[in-house]
Amino acid sequence: MEFDPSQPNAGRIYDYLLGGSHNFAVDRMAAERLVQMIPTIENGARLNRWFLDIAVNRLADLGFNRYLDLASGLPTQGYIHEIRPDALVLYNDYDQATVAYAREIIGNNPRVIYHQANIAELDSILAQADQHFAGERKLAICMIGVSYFLDNHVLQQTLQRLYEWCSPGSQISISWIALPEDPNPQLQELLARYRAMGSPIYARTVEQIKQFIEPWTLLEPGFQRLSEWNEIDGTWVIEGDRQAGDEQSDMYGTFMIKG
């Protein structure tokens, strides 16, 4: 994939929303337009990043010291190798500029590798994982801030292939965005802007998301909002967009295990 510095990138926008510096003027302009449209989008970025910290520490407490992080974005602002410097980590992203920046950030750290590949090219990533983890397949897998950028086919295929590849006892942590089936005009504009960037967000309700879990086993506390994981009174959702019951637009985090 050729790098086009004139086009904003969802990963670099995410970095900017987190206060990072590895982004371009075009990313900052796009991010500011998104913030003007939906001020709570910055909350969403922070909730995702804080959930990554929670996920890594929870998994480390269970004894995991090998982490496969998919569609990682830029490893700044508290990434896995900073949270657990003793761990072996394999990051991945498809964007050429993101990977180049990431390798510069990581530097000469033999415990950390950043592999360039599209998540749809999962076999390439898993081959690199076999090499980096010396064939050990009981590991922690993270998909934070990525599930909603994958269409139904790729998401289902990715989770199924990961389940088949990894060893029993492996766990996967995922963050999700639940959106209403009939989004309001403000949310429709947000989705349109991400589509224009080449990073469409796929709207799914909570019930639709739950269909992707099998054959993984959902661990306690099940589907929990990121604001609850982070024990704060806050959310990313657009004011007035909440609906009754489980069908609420919000961000969720889950842990699943291969039995």
pLDDT grade, residue 3 (50/70/90)?
low
**Concatenated DSSP letters of 101-158:** HHHHHH-S-TTEEEEE--TT-HHHHHHHHHHHTTT----EEEE-S-GGGS-HHHHHHH
pLDDT at 245: 41
pLDDT tens column, 135-178: 999 999 999 999 999 999 999 999 999 999 999 999 999 999 99
Q: Judging by DSSP bridges, how do beta strands 250-257 and 224-225 pair with one another?
A: antiparallel
Question: pLDDT tens-digit profile of 12-26?
Answer: 888 888 888 878 899
| Least confident window among 4-8, 105-109, 146-150 | 4-8
Cα–Cα distance for residue pair 145/161, rounded to 1 Å = 19
In terms of phi and psi (left: phi > 0; alpha: psi -120 to 50; beta: otherwise), the region of 137 is alpha
Please say whether the beta carbons of 52 and 144 come within 8 A. yes
pLDDT of 53 higher than 90: yes
How many other C-beta atoms are found inside a 10 Å radius of the C-beta of residue 145? 25
Q: Which of these, 68, 165, 155, lies nearest to 120 by C-alpha position?
A: 155
Is the per-residue pLDDT at 242 higher than 50?
Answer: no
Q: What Cα–Cα distance (Å) separates residue 126 from each residue in 96, 118, 166?
A: 19, 12, 9
Give the tokens for residue 176.
């999700």
Query: Is a pLDDT exceeding 70 seen at residue 237?
Result: no
The pLDDT tens digits for 178-197 are 988 887 888 888 889 889 88
Tokens at 27, concatenated: 């990313």
Structural tokens at position 169: 């006892």
Q: List the single range of 29-43, 46-60, 150-164 with lowest mean pLDDT.
A: 29-43
d(CA 254, CA 176): 8
